Amino acid sequence: MALDTHYKKIRYLEQAKEHLVKLYGIENDKSQAYHQLKSRLDGFIEAGLVVGIVDNKELQNLIDAAHINAFGMTRKQRQAASKLDTRDTKVNWGVYDTPAIHRK
C-alpha cells in the first residue's frame, strides 16, 4: 500500500469516527438531526466501500469501538438492555372510573 493511500485511509477512518461520535452523541434517535447525520454517515461509509479505501470488517471494528466508547457496551448488549427497559409507564386508570357519558 502506497504511503499516500495509507494516509487517505487513516484520514477516512478518522472522519468516519468523528461522524460516529456525533451520531452516538444525539440522544433522541427519532430526531431529524439524528436521521440527517445517519444518512450522511451511511453515504460516507458506502463511498469508502465503493472506492475501496476500507472493507466491511474494518468499518465494523470502527463502529463497534465507537459504540463501546459512547455507551460502555456493545451494540448487542445495548439492544438487549433496551428490550428489557420497562420504563415506569403507570397509567392513571382512575380517569375511567366515571362513566364515559360524564367525562369531558
- The residues, any chain, with a CB within 8 Å of residue 55's CB and separated by 6 or more, are 49
Query: From CA 99, how far away is CA 23, in angstroms rounded?
Result: 48
DSSP notation for 41-55? HHHHHHHHHHHTSS-
So where are the chain's domains? 3-84
Query: From CA 16, how far away is CA 37, in angstroms rounded?
Result: 11
The three cell numbers of residue 89 are: 409507564
Q: Which amino acid is at 56?
A: N
What pLDDT was estimated at residue 85? 66
Angle in degrees, CA 59, 4, 10, rounded to 5: 30
Instruction: List per-block mean pLDDT (blocks of 10 residues) for the chain, which spans 104 residues.
Output: 88 96 90 94 96 94 93 86 70 79 76
